[in-house]
Amino acid sequence: MRCVFVGCPAFLGRVDGETRCAFWTQEPVDHGFDPGRLIDVDLALTPSAAAAGEIGWDQVQVDDCLTGPGGQVSGSTLGPRWPELHLAGAVYLERGFAASLPEPLRPGCPPPGAGGQPYEYQTAVYWPNPGDPRGGRRYSGHHAQVLAEQGSLARVAVWPSGRSQQLQVHPTVLWVDLACAEQCDAGPDSLTTIGVGGAPKRGALFLISGQLPDQPQEPR
């Protein structure tokens, strides 16, 4: 089992508590700060909280705020916590939670004006599971093209997430084992669509982007 998240722009519109807030997915000046367009979330309902046994996995609403290589912050970057108040950023909504929102509030994927394919704005977290090599791992979606193959190894051109349709952006070329969960989402019902052999050569590649913290407790 896994959580799939859909990224959207976020502009803080209301603070309801230390972790609870409401946000707009569009610049509020453009719609006159319409309160009817606010999306209510609890930014504490994350995969890390589920892995720690603090909530059930079916309660997850948003992805965590993450620190990547070089200190780059990613994931859900909006936050009502004081004093580190972030008025604008991104929120990665759990796909099922996003689908449960009233249709007028449901964020589009890709976001309006974005420069990439829908999967470039998605991330995935697999629930801890000793029977699945992807258990507890995080993956992020990229647009990629297979350039060469050696068994399950592929030399791929990978574009930065959300930027594959920007002409001035160039891909990074690297070798990836498309059968290895330590490198990409590989396995049953994988979000990765490219592959070796007769598989498509251009499309989604969900690369490893981290792992949930080891937790001694079982999620509820």
Tens digit of each residue's pLDDT (9 = 90 or more) over 35-93: 999 999 999 999 999 999 999 999 999 999 887 656 667 788 887 665 566 789 899 99
pLDDT at 190: 96
140-166 residue pLDDT tens = 999 999 999 999 999 999 999 888 888
State how far the Cα of 136 lies from the Cα of 132, in Å rounded to an integer.
9
Decide the pairing of beta strands 122-126 and 20-24. Answer: unpaired
How many domains are there within the chain? 2
* Cα atoms in the 13 Å half-sphere on the side-chain side of 17: 7
- 15: nearest Cα among 117, 93, 92, 87: 87
16 and 63 part of one domain: yes
pLDDT band at 25 (very low <50, low <70, confident <90, very high): very high
Q: Can you give the pTM of this predicted structure?
A: 0.89
Residues 83 and 154 in one domain: no
- One DSSP character per residue, 47-112 reads HHHHHTTSS-GGG--BPPEEE-GGG-EEE---B--SSS-BSEEEEEEEHHHHHHS-GGGPPPSSPT
Higher pLDDT, 83 or 138: 138
In a domain, 137, yes or no: yes
- Find the range with the poorest average confidence among 27-31, 113-117, 157-161, 179-183: 113-117
Domain that holds residue 84: 2-105
